[in-house]
Amino acid sequence: QVQLVESGGGSVQAGGSLRLSCAASGITAGAYYCMGWFRQAPGKEREGVAIIDTGGSFRYYADSVKGRFTISQDNAKNTLYLQMNDLKPEDTAMYYCAARRRLIRQCSPSLADYNLWGQGTQVTVSS
């Protein structure tokens, strides 16, 4: 059973940086996954921020974070990262790690595509 555990959230001032980590356990050896970061601000819907195909070149970034956020993976550690630079107050949200086994369908930022979720880590950016 796959489990996802996020860490690295916190409070920073605008313009600062944070790196989120998502440690995955129970990953099937040799399998490919769509993995990504979603966020949800109070009163708003959860949205896809950055997605990666662990076995391919697919990368997705929401327009609001392009050029500021970078998603990466460390296969040896089964860990997903989100480097967030030049943070803005509008980046304040609960950030969730998500995954699904990538069999045939290409990875996407659609919320409904993901059946594995972490508990979330809070990111707060003050102006």
Express each pLDDT in 33-56 by its tens digit.
999 999 999 999 999 999 999 988
Residue 106, helix vs strand vs coil: coil
Tens of pLDDT, residue by residue over 70-89, are: 999 998 999 999 999 999 99
Find out whether 87 and 16 touch, Cβ atoms under 8 Å.
Answer: yes
Lowest pLDDT segment from 64-73, 84-93, 101-110: 101-110
Find out whether 29 and 55 touch, Cβ atoms under 8 Å.
Answer: no
Find out whether 84 and 18 touch, Cβ atoms under 8 Å.
Answer: yes
